[in-house]
Amino acid sequence: MPEDGLKRRAEEVLGRPLDRVRLVTDTTQFMGLSRGDVLELQGKRYLITGVAYEGRFGLDEEPKHWVKRALDLEDGGRKLIKLVFYEQFDLPIGHLKVRCYRSPRKEARILELVRGRPEFMQGFTLLDAVGNEVRILDRVPGQSLDRVLDAQRIDHQTYFQTRLRDLLTKFMGCLEAISFLHAHGERHGDIRRDHIFEHSGHGGWVWIDFDYNFELAESPFGLDLFGLGNVLCYLVGRGIPTLQDLKRHRPEVLDRLDSGDLSLVIPNRVFNLRKLYPYLPEELNRVLMHFSASAPIFYERVAEMTADLGPVLALLP
């Protein structure tokens, strides 16, 4: 397509004029890609309209420069385009250090594996001119789980009596989805509450972002399981209480707590929630305590967590 025709098509899909349009076939230097660039990937073209932002746990949103918002020039569909970006770091868990790293190839595998399954984000992978694995993602309509719960403007006991059972029922579906990944030898790698979206159409919960992986020989799925424990604690507590929060808002409960009541991974987070909310069933609290510093054993498989959590639903109002 001649350059003037490309600009005309881009403006037609965007619905407004563009100062300039540039055709790009090599996405390696993703920091230099911006609004008006058209990515050509294996015969398909995508107009970049901006960069994606991510806010985490109440912090201001920050740009993810390797993730671009885009429009498909063929049908005008809205996409997220994840470009190749590598990073790695060590995450301490108890006395262990877990090596975490980004793997575009791993995310490409998972997108292929979960195609058509509504509990996962959908997309596919295309190569640019130099072989970079570029992931083309459908945007999940709706809000992340942390925003869904932040909108619950009720006290915790009312939340427990009216909302928790429904939320944990949906969470069981999330557990089954991660179990599916594990059964195929894959890990999510970055399980967090803001990586679950409540779909505004069908109402189900959808996992997003699969590009992190980790190395933990002692427990091949361990980091995923600890992530699931954090999400469960967040759901049960309508937020994960920290020692700092309790000192400010509920100082009278601090004397009830000891180090064994805290998270093994993030030791200022309280996981023994029954000491804060005595109306919680002991059976539910026992699941949470598998992720605490005092746990004698930890879950090794999602199925173990599901088996313990499933019967608890019947105990909830």
pLDDT tens digits for 141-195? Answer: 999 999 999 888 899 999 999 999 999 999 999 999 999 999 999 999 999 999 9
Residue spans of the domains in the chain: they are 1-6+13-83, 142-315
Whose CA is closest to 173, among 219, 228, 220? 228
**pLDDT over 90 at 232, yes or no:** yes
Percentage, residues of the chain above pLDDT 70: 97
Look up the CATH architecture of domain 142-315: Orthogonal Bundle (1.10)
pTM above 0.75, yes or no: yes
**pLDDT over 60 at 58, yes or no:** no
> What pLDDT, on the 0 to 100 scale, is given for residue 93?
76
Look up the CATH architecture of domain 1-6+13-83: Roll (2.30)
Q: What is the mean pLDDT of residues 44-70?
A: 84
